[in-house]
Structure 1
């Protein structure tokens, strides 16, 4: 890890900028980007857990853990309540940041948005592009639901996998999102079902697996301080290139995060996120 930390962040950011413009890097964007501004919606797992705590009294094991909190709510108040409260949490929306808008202007093969607020979808719509499609992770808790994901057109209509194959840019929202249909993977049970098969990649769309081949990933506005987040990132990156990046505050990394970065050959870029994003757009 020490050798990674010592890499020059300016050099690494230059590599990332070149990789994004060339379509050789997949941006994996988390809520930390939008959290640089003031917004009324939860922009971290802890903030989402706190929102749930305003709606009901949570047991100790569920406090501070949005997935356990959602599971408790589903167990005591049924799935419809979980969905309704998630809709409420993200109802006000989040305007895309300048960086989201910048990414939307690039003909990237694949973009991963790892939160529920939908900023990347909104940015692509605002760019006026019609050459993109979205594939979104969905819960299988609904009666009769036997799919792991759904495809959507820019307008939010259901799409077929073949339409996504033809798109210049594929937006992948593995945890679901408020738009277009309020699909949310959020409870422990949702993720247990996914994780039973994620090692064989079944829950990850084939087109995502195809597009990531040979590409690197750059993680922006993300943390890996939870095993579930590390597992998802690891599986989404599988069979991609051997060179990846993450803009992180290296002083606050947990031991598990450091181990994860080492195992996945992710070079940490030790620079404040806002400065790094500005440099990438410059």
Structure 2
């Protein structure tokens, strides 16, 4: 089967609630605008404001840790939120499509709010996002919100769609994981699944993942994908253009992921074809 046909089949399974879309920053890039669309781009924006030591330079998590340690967390939060302040230049076909088909769950691993804005036009959904423990005095990994933006105790099994942003959300009323210290407790506990909400675990069961616009050239990103996909179904598919790094190829092989050597733009073109 041709790669584009396999992609169409996987998308149909997402639409039918049989597969979970797992979005990376390249999906957010389809919105255009001036917000960063990769860890490297976000890192460059931060380093343009705060000069990081050579040992950290180019690594988003390490640069963020340097800023947090030397300039305080408020400075880091402001830099990241300002980076994501520019408005989208156009509608995002993937976000809009997901809001139309309303699958049981979407995992969105980038910091922008594009997916939430697409879902604002529909009802009966909720958000679970990862939160930084910086400044927190309670044992917390995530917060949950209903579609009106009201914080609730936990994700509801009655929500038609659960939007899961494991790394958080970079806007003024939200929190996000970005520094090494943000991730240290999460990564310590993630193997036993404690940072992953029970409703997320329930909805992933029996459903393979469709990775869209992700790269797995960083150990932390691979760890999150591996643990979020734990106990889901076999048959994952990843859409990303080659060449793959050695570690990406090893990761896809380890999880039995079918690799479709296609750009995310191929998905965009598929979704913007007039209906009928």
The TM-score bracket by the shorter chain reads: over 0.9
Equivalent position of 1:64 in the other structure: 58
Equivalent position of 1:254 in the other structure: 245
Equivalent position of 1:97 in the other structure: 92
Contact 1:218 1:245 (C-alpha < 8 Å) held by counterparts: yes
Q: Would you identify which runs of 4 or more consecutive aligned residues in structure 1 move more than 6 Å?
A: none
Question: Is 1:221 aligned to residue 213 of structure 2?
Answer: yes
CA gap 1:23/1:165 in 2 versus in 1, 3 angstroms: same
Question: Is 1:142 aligned to residue 121 of structure 2?
Answer: no
Question: Is 1:187 aligned to residue 179 of structure 2?
Answer: yes
The residue correspondences of 1:12-31 to structure 2 (distance < 5 A) are 12-31=6-25
Point out where structure 1 has 5 or more consecutive residues left out of the alignment. 1-6
- TM-score by length of structure 2 reads 0.94
Contact 2:97 2:271 (C-alpha < 8 Å) held by counterparts: no
Question: Is 1:266 aligned to residue 257 of structure 2?
Answer: yes
Alignment equivalent of 2:45, drawn from 51, 60, 85: 51
Q: 1-side partners of 2:171 and 2:240: how far apart?
A: 28
Q: 1-side partners of 2:71 and 2:156: how far apart?
A: 36
Q: Secondary structure at the match of 1:46?
A: helix
CA gap 1:180/1:168 in 2 versus in 1, 3 angstroms: farther
Q: Secondary structure at the match of 2:82?
A: helix
Question: Is 1:111 aligned to residue 106 of structure 2?
Answer: yes
CA gap 1:9/1:75 in 2 versus in 1, 3 angstroms: same
Write out per-residue CA displacement over residues 17-68 of structure 1, whole angstroms, 9 at most, x where no aligned residue.
2201211111111110232453211111000110111111111122111110
Q: 1-side partners of 2:31 and 2:205: how far apart?
A: 34
Point out where structure 2 has 5 or more consecutive residues left out of the alignment. none
Shift of 1:155: 2.1
Equivalent position of 1:120 in the other structure: 115
Q: 1-side partners of 2:224 and 2:163: how far apart?
A: 16
Shift of 1:182: 2.5
More deviation, 174-183/46-55: 174-183
Q: 2-side partners of 1:200 and 1:248: how far apart?
A: 29
Contact 1:96 1:122 (C-alpha < 8 Å) held by counterparts: no
- TM-score by length of structure 1 reads 0.92
Q: 1-side partners of 2:177 and 2:127: how far apart?
A: 16
TM-align CA RMSD:
1.6
Contact 2:30 2:92 (C-alpha < 8 Å) held by counterparts: no
CA gap 1:140/1:187 in 2 versus in 1, 3 angstroms: same
Aligned residues: 272
